[in-house]
Amino acid sequence: MRPLSHLAHPDGDIAFDAFHAFISPALRAAARGPLLRARHAGRACGAPTGSRWCADCEATADDLLMASFKRLRSALDKVPATRAGRPVREMALLGDHLLSADAQGQDSSAWAPRLREAGNIAEPAWLRAARAQLVHYPLRHLEAQTRRADAVRRGAAARPDRDLRQAVWAAPLREDPAGLEMLIMVVFRIRRRVSDPFQVPDDLRERHGLTHAEASRRMGRALSALRTANPGFFAANIEEPVNIEPPTDPQDAFAADRLHARATLTRLLTTRADEPDPHATRRRTYRKVTTAVCAIGIGHQADPVAVATQDLGLAPEPAGRMVRRLALLVATAGVDWTDRVAEFADTSVR
């Protein structure tokens, strides 16, 4: 048994052993969502073997656990103060409990499952304080911090919006306000692993009075200008993280058509979190039809007309017309790109 009172033990090794048993399960459970969104686009994270996370997420979890432990040890020595200069009440409450006689008979491992729970009004106040100060407080900016740290590690900008708005090398880019706004949007969409970061949102397009075709051309010009102005920034922030080829030639009509086709397919296939269930179900069916079209495009056997007939309840003739329209969009957008969107569209909520 490792009593909770050991969290306040003078020996750091004994204290950390009890702290790990009590805090680690709850902290890892709370950190999982932000780390998956920041690093894995909401998909599974796992080591090549075993049941652990990937090396990067394991390292982040270890760092968070150690930071939380140091925060507790520092608070036991001197309770931290709020901005108003008052002691943090939850830390004082937790410290008093760990030094109490009750904590000597409480097993750290036995209380760990209760710490993982959402909490309720009937639970002890010290347990709510531990959850707030040692689990949730260290994670309050985890998703944004992880994206920024990973971007910097691969050579991208820590504050790309600041660089694009203020750096001397970016001065030519600021001559086109719409293009500048698009570039900032693209960088942050790439960091969030959005399936189609080059789709121009309607609110941005309407704010600058652009049609879909004009918006596509302006984005192409902005990306081309950025590549010319700072190839290193372009490679680190746009090209390498997603391994896709953005439009580069502002006069390339096909680049504009491709962007428009990708925007159309994204709207057609992507399920939003707040979307009524019948709409979401229909989009999932469109994804099945689109996946069948992509399968034909890469040389596999598939019958998208049969899928549309069966799952959408269409007669063969209208099902064939729908599939032909989808096939044209897929061919313009790119088979590989469309296949990725169809596979991961449920995580691409925007």
Question: Tokens standing for 51?
Answer: 């049941």
Predicted pLDDT at 107: 94
AA letter at 105: G
| DSSP 8-state assignment for residue 79 | -
d(CA 16, CA 23): 10
> pTM value?
0.53
Residue whose structure tokens are 């081309």: 224
Best CA proximity match to 196, nearest among 267, 121, 300: 267
d(CA 274, CA 263): 20
Angle at 197 between CA 42 and CA 283, to 5 degrees: 65
d(CA 194, CA 179): 19
Q: With contact defined as beta carbons under 8 Å apart, do 31 and 59 qualify?
A: no
Predicted pLDDT at 195: 62
Best CA proximity match to 304, nearest among 288, 292, 316, 295: 292
Predicted pLDDT at 196: 67
Predicted pLDDT at 238: 75
Per the document, the length of the chain is 350
**Cβ partners under 8 Å of residue 20, min gap 6:** 65
Predicted pLDDT at 154: 63
**Cβ partners under 8 Å of residue 83, min gap 6:** none
Predicted pLDDT at 27: 95
Please provide the DSSP assignment of 125-191 as one string: HHHHHHIIIIIIGGGTTHHHHHHHHHHHHTT--SSHHHHHHH-GGGGGGGG-HHHHHHHHHHHHHHH
Q: With contact defined as beta carbons under 8 Å apart, do 57 and 131 qualify?
A: no
Predicted pLDDT at 329: 84
Q: Reduced to 3 states, what is the DSSP secondary structure of residue 28?
A: helix
pLDDT tens across 92-127, in order?
A: 999 999 999 999 999 999 999 999 988 777 899 999
Predicted pLDDT at 127: 94
Predicted pLDDT at 242: 44
Q: With contact defined as beta carbons under 8 Å apart, do 214 and 179 qualify?
A: no
Predicted pLDDT at 347: 43
CA 119 to chain centroid, in Å, comes to: 26
Q: Is 44 exposed, middle or buried (0-12, 13-18, 19+ CB in 10 A)?
A: exposed
Angle at 183 between CA 177 and CA 187, to 5 degrees: 150
- Which mean pLDDT values do the consecutive 10-residue runs of the chain (350 residues) have? 93 94 94 85 66 84 94 92 88 93 94 88 90 93 83 70 88 91 86 72 88 81 83 72 47 62 78 55 80 79 84 82 84 81 56
**Cβ partners under 8 Å of residue 85, min gap 6:** none
